[in-house]
Amino acid sequence: MAAETLDQIVSLCKRRGFLFPGSEVYGGLQGTFDYGPLGVELKNNLKRLWWQHNVYERDDMEGLDASILMNKLVWKYSGHEETFVDPLVDCKTCKARFRADRLGDMPCPKNPKKHPGECEGELTEPRPFNMMFKTQVGPIPDPESFAYLRPETAQGIFVNFANVLDSTNRKLPFGIAQIGKAFRNEITPRNFVFRVREFEQMEIEFFCHPGEDEATHEAFIQDHVRFWTERCGLSPERLTLYEVPKDELAHYSKRTVDIMYRFPIGVEELEGIANRTDYDLGSHTRDQEKIEITAAVQPNAHSTQRLTYFDQPNKKHIVPFVIEPSAGVDRGVLAILTEAYNEETLENGDTRVVLKLKPALAPIKVAVLPLKKNEPAIVEVAKSIKNSLQATGLMRAVYDDTAGIGKLYRRQDEIGTPFCITVDFDTLGREGDAALKDTVTVRHRDTMMQERIAISQLKSYLLERLV
């Protein structure tokens, strides 16, 4: 079972501090959200897992963290100034603006049972709207001193291709991975963090010989489906692959396959995996006329560097082809929350909300709870267990005594904490069974099964189960 409505997720996120609307005290800013204490942990865990999977566990990947602000010529030669547009229409009656290709997703502001254009309002002809945010650079307002906030992290990788190649001595094939913010002035941000104006991307630009691109593309599609299912816990039945039709491909793409997830709002894109050919390196390179570029690029009058690779066996400079897996962190968080969310009716008729997160993604790994908060000896042992687990530096551990034990378990279930440890009178050796002295109860979130573990074994017991 997973969340059925977006409202279930939105309300859990607000109530427990995963996500808050941006600038809420001033009425908000549309298309922005702030990650709260638990949200930032979940998001960081997702990014860490992605980096682990794509960088640390491979021999052919380097990392990068490029600036958000870049020379505006980057966006001229990347093609974004001209083509990074969505079709915009206005309603002549209510003056609201919509994305022409998404009218079916939008309610009419005056008559929410209808879609724009199906109501009395007449729509204007679609016109292109560029989604890049502009900002002034430097203290003097001058029409030429502006930069764009990057709408994708990818270009920071392309313009650093030669720097990374020279500093690492890499040979083809190899990739560069980056996680960072991207900004798009979406016409209609909506559906919680699914479509926002400020978001994060986890992207790889993987450089290979022309001719090896199609097989590399296929391998990334399979590998990233595995990432979302095996590592992040998304169920294979909720994931589908969508072959983007030729007439909908972005200007740089030869083929794009989207990994789609069944969100509560419908089946939508989680990650796009594109074959960007030699378009981007070809567009940004100096000496375009001296090298073979297959993609239709604009002549570049400004680049100061050759973004090529010297192919030793054939003794010539080539422009590598690029495979790009590009995933949204925020859509990843939303998919993971959707999948993990469960409302269960227990045997005694009570209900519980439980987030069945993979332990590696859980914001808090273990909660240490005293059976009685008025019993100083129990509290002391519980706090010392929490401190020693925390001191390992390997897990986020918390101590909580602000409610009765049943309520404390429910609270941890709701935020996805995989293990609760309870310290009781048996731990102190005050009850009849001497064998239970220095042991604690470990409660498992999903099954609610409880077992007795020696305090001395706790660390290794948990570490084995937290991967």
The angle subtended at Cα 173 by Cα 260 and Cα 331, nearest 5°, is 20
Candidates 370, 392, 372; CA nearest to 381 is 370
Q: Which amino acid is at 402?
A: T
- Contact assessment for residue 156 and residue 140, using Cβ atoms and an 8 Å cutoff: no
Q: Examine residue 201 and tell whether it contacts ligand ATP (CB under 6 A).
A: yes
The helix-helix angle for 329-340 and 6-16 (nearest 10°) equals 100
Q: For the CB of residue 238, give the shortest distance to ligand ATP in the complex, in Å.
A: 15
Q: Which is nearer to ligand ATP, 268 or 401 (CB)?
A: 268
Tell me how far the alpha carbon of residue 63 is from its chain's centroid: 17
Give the residue at shortest CB distance from ligand ATP: 328
Q: For the CB of residue 111, give the shortest distance to ligand ATP in the complex, in Å.
A: 26
Q: For the CB of residue 272, give the shortest distance to ligand ATP in the complex, in Å.
A: 3
Report the residue from 199, 207, 220, 419 that binds ligand ATP according to the rule CB under 6 A.
199
Residues 254-313 that bind ligand ATP (CB under 6 A): 269-272
Strands laid side by side in the 61-63 sheet: 61-63, 174-183, 198-208, 321-328, 266-277, 255-263, 239-243
The SS3 assignment for 20 reads strand
Residue 408: how many CB atoms within 10 A of its CB? Answer: 19
Tokens for 370? 């005293």
- Contact assessment for residue 229 and residue 235, using Cβ atoms and an 8 Å cutoff: yes
Q: Which is nearer to ligand ATP, 199 or 409 (CB)?
A: 199
Q: Which is nearer to ligand ATP, 259 or 397 (CB)?
A: 259
Q: Examine residue 326 and tell whether it contacts ligand ATP (CB under 6 A).
A: yes
Residues 2-61 that bind ligand ATP (CB under 6 A): none
Q: For the CB of residue 28, give the shortest distance to ligand ATP in the complex, in Å.
A: 16
CA distances from 420 to 51, 412, 456, 458, 460 (A): 28, 8, 16, 12, 15
Residue recorded with tokens 């939105």: 10
Q: Which is nearer to ligand ATP, 78 or 201 (CB)?
A: 201
Q: Examine residue 368 and tell whether it contacts ligand ATP (CB under 6 A).
A: no
DSSP 212: S
Which pairing describes strands 351-355 and 255-263: parallel, antiparallel, or unpaired?
Answer: unpaired
List of E strands, 3-122: 19-21, 33-35, 61-63, 69-70, 85-90, 97-99
Q: For the CB of residue 326, give the shortest distance to ligand ATP in the complex, in Å.
A: 4
Q: Which is nearer to ligand ATP, 258 or 400 (CB)?
A: 258
**Interface size with ligand ATP, residues (CB under 6 A):** 15
Residues 178-197 that bind ligand ATP (CB under 6 A): 184, 186, 195-196
Site string for ligand ATP, 421-440 (x = CB under 6 A): --------------------
Q: Which is nearer to ligand ATP, 205 or 413 (CB)?
A: 205
Q: For the CB of residue 105, give the shortest distance to ligand ATP in the complex, in Å.
A: 11
Q: Which is nearer to ligand ATP, 130 or 441 (CB)?
A: 130
Tokens for 364? 């808090």
Q: Which is nearer to ligand ATP, 90 or 186 (CB)?
A: 186
Question: Which region, judged by CB under 6 A, interacts with ligand ATP, from 132-140, 326-334, 440-448, 459-467?
Answer: 326-334
CA distances from 334 to 6, 46, 321, 341 (A): 9, 11, 32, 11
Q: Examine residue 157 and tell whether it contacts ligand ATP (CB under 6 A).
A: no
Residue 397: how many CB atoms within 10 A of its CB? Answer: 22
- Contact assessment for residue 204 and residue 177, using Cβ atoms and an 8 Å cutoff: yes
Q: Examine residue 217 and tell whether it contacts ligand ATP (CB under 6 A).
A: no
The angle subtended at Cα 401 by Cα 399 and Cα 402, nearest 5°, is 120
Site string for ligand ATP, 88-117 (x = CB under 6 A): ------------------------------
Q: Which is nearer to ligand ATP, 136 or 222 (CB)?
A: 222
The angle subtended at Cα 200 by Cα 158 and Cα 115, nearest 5°, is 115
Q: Examine residue 223 and tell whether it contacts ligand ATP (CB under 6 A).
A: no
HEC readout, 325-359: EEEEHHHHHHHHHHHHEEEEECCCCCEEEEECCCC
Q: Examine residue 324 and tell whether it contacts ligand ATP (CB under 6 A).
A: no
Q: For the CB of residue 443, give the shortest distance to ligand ATP in the complex, in Å.
A: 35
Question: Which region, judged by CB under 6 A, interacts with ligand ATP, from 13-21, 216-224, 321-329, 374-382?
Answer: 321-329
Q: Examine residue 252 and tell whether it contacts ligand ATP (CB under 6 A).
A: no
Q: Examine residue 205 and tell whether it contacts ligand ATP (CB under 6 A).
A: no
Q: Which amino acid is at 132?
A: M
Which pairing describes strands 85-90 and 97-99: parallel, antiparallel, or unpaired?
Answer: antiparallel
Q: Interface with ligand ATP by CB under 6 A: which residues?
A: 184, 186, 195-196, 199, 201, 269-272, 326-328, 330-331
